[in-house]
Amino acid sequence: MAFEDLLNEQAICFRIRAGWKLEESEEGSALILKTDDGREVRVLEDASRYRAAVRRLTEGAPLRALWDSIAATGGEWHATAFSRKLHMLCRAGIIEFPLVEDAREQAVIAPQWNSYVPSLARRAPASGRGLDRFACLRRDGRTWLVESPLCGARLLVSDLEALELPLVRRALAAAGFLETAVPEDDTRRDILRQWEFHDLLFHAHHRKGWHHDMSGACFPFVAEIDPLPARRARWPGKRIELSRAPPATGGATLAEVLERRRSKRRYDATRPLSVHDLGVLLDRSARTDSVRTVPATGPFGQSCSYEVASRPYPSAGGSHELEIYPIVAKCDGLKPGIYHYDASHHALVGIPARDADVARIAADAKWASGDEADPQVVLAITARFARATWKYRSIGYANILRNTGALYQTLYLVATDLGLSPCALGAGNSALFARIAGLDPLVEGTVGEFLVGGPERPGAPEASLFAM
């Protein structure tokens, strides 16, 4: 449907979205677009010609009514100019579309793609047609949202019964939310079959172009929630000081280490990982070098201070939300058990755990390695989620996963340079670790696991089907 076709659609209205205002400038010569945080954009000159349309746009009105109100006083040229600006506002996600029938608002269409133009199916589909498998229904405050990464808009209703109204079902069908019997292109159908629902939804939410939500370093909770400190609170217990890495001696080049990097799961049982090597590995990979305080400004101008940290691997915005918990099955100089790596003091602190718990985590890691490894040390990597989500909207969890990948590669390179056997794992049991460590998995939970052992067993194959 073309934007101009909306001139003939009375059930689809136009309205300025919450958080924006379209009004006359102080001197009255122009229309300006204002945001709640005080930003302004000049939209059109000669504001008086659009006064009636702007008033109706604030309340919600069909495009034909807006057009006619301008054409009656300013002529078709100004009506066309206003319509073009309105189209630009739609593409920017500043306009929403109430669906109105018999003077009653039944739902609201909220565009998410720049190219989206609302439309209605010719007739309401049968009530037996349910939502497409990629569509979901969720609450946002008191409003119900229907959304899908395959659809260019969201549909908002105040109660679920509205989803059965003929006008609303026409909108759902036109936007692509409902199951369809029409066969898709074979290539697209096969690609969609391979996408999991949650993966595609996550992909769409953390990338631009799929939605008009706040995204990036918005600091949405400034003045509402205190940020977590950069350093995690100490676990109680005695510290075990770790060996520091010796000064760099100009050994292998980065290119040589990259060339040698492999996932290794078969260890020389006569030379297990030592606590000295574990200390050097963590020192070079994950030690906290420094913490400093920086200002943070929220979306409406509120401000506070926020701690950022520096470690050997990169982290989005200096959040460094990741923590490392070595689960030790066999390590020369260190008792089997679960430990927390205190990155600020380069030390380990023991966490009470039964031998059976350690064995269960090791067995889980062995399974994740394709049953190849007999784990010596499993590095459970957790995230203190609020370190990232307090600062970022839409991309917070995605950044955590990116940071985990950066830590993986750093561990790989350092372990390779030290002659150790590293292997990143692609799966882990967050619920198991949370239970054993006594953590709330929504506050701090595992996002990755990494095996490290002593030198590789002589004659072990270089790679396997599970090599990363």
320-345 pLDDT tens trace: 999 999 999 999 999 999 999 999 99
Q: Confidence band (pLDDT; 50, 70, 90) for 137?
A: very high
Distance between CA 135 and CA 259 in Å, rounded? 44
Whether residue 119 is predicted with pLDDT greater than 80 in this model: the reply is yes
Task: Give the closest residue to 12 by CA, choosing from 72, 100, 89.
Answer: 100
Instruction: Please give the DSSP secondary-structure letter assigned to residue 178.
Output: B
User: Could you tell me the pTM of the whole model?
Assistant: 0.88
Task: Please report the domains of the chain, with CATH numbers, ordered by start residue.
Answer: 3-98 (3.90.930), 102-205 (no CATH), 216-453 (3.40.109.10)
What are the start-end ranges of the H helices in 75-160? 76-91
- Token pair 């194959």 is found at 461
CB 402 within 8 A of CB 436: no
Whether residue 157 is predicted with pLDDT greater than 90 in this model: the reply is yes
Distance between CA 134 and CA 145 in Å, rounded? 14
CA distances from residue 259 to 256, 412, 416, 417, 451 in whole angstroms, order as listed: 5, 12, 10, 11, 20
Supply the pLDDT for residue 48: 81
Whether residue 464 is predicted with pLDDT greater than 60 in this model: the reply is no
- For residue 312 the two structure tokens come to 């050997």
Whether residue 466 is predicted with pLDDT greater than 50 in this model: the reply is no
- Tell me the Cα Rg of the chain: 29
CB within 8 Å of 197: residues ≥ 6 apart: 133, 134, 136
CB 158 within 8 A of CB 168: no
Reported residue count of the chain is 468
Q: Report the mean per-residue pLDDT for the chain.
A: 90
CB 4 within 8 A of CB 85: no
- Which burial class, exposed, middle or buried, applies to 263 when counting CB atoms under 10 A from its CB (0-12, 13-18, 19+)? buried
- In this prediction, residues 52-58 reach a mean pLDDT of 88
What are the start-end ranges of the H helices in 12-149? 51-59, 63-74, 76-91
- For residue 346 the two structure tokens come to 């380069």
Supply the pLDDT for residue 175: 94
- In this prediction, residues 186-213 reach a mean pLDDT of 89
- For residue 264 the two structure tokens come to 């290794």
| Distance of alpha carbon 440 from the chain centroid | 20
Q: Is 144 helix (H, G, I), strand (E, B) or coil?
A: strand
Task: Give the closest residue to 144 by CA, choosing from 171, 163, 170.
Answer: 163
- Token pair 């689960």 is found at 327
Least confident of 136-150, 245-259, 268-282: 245-259
- Single-letter amino acid, residue 457: R
Supply the pLDDT for residue 269: 83
Whether residue 221 is predicted with pLDDT greater than 90 in this model: the reply is yes
Supply the pLDDT for residue 282: 97
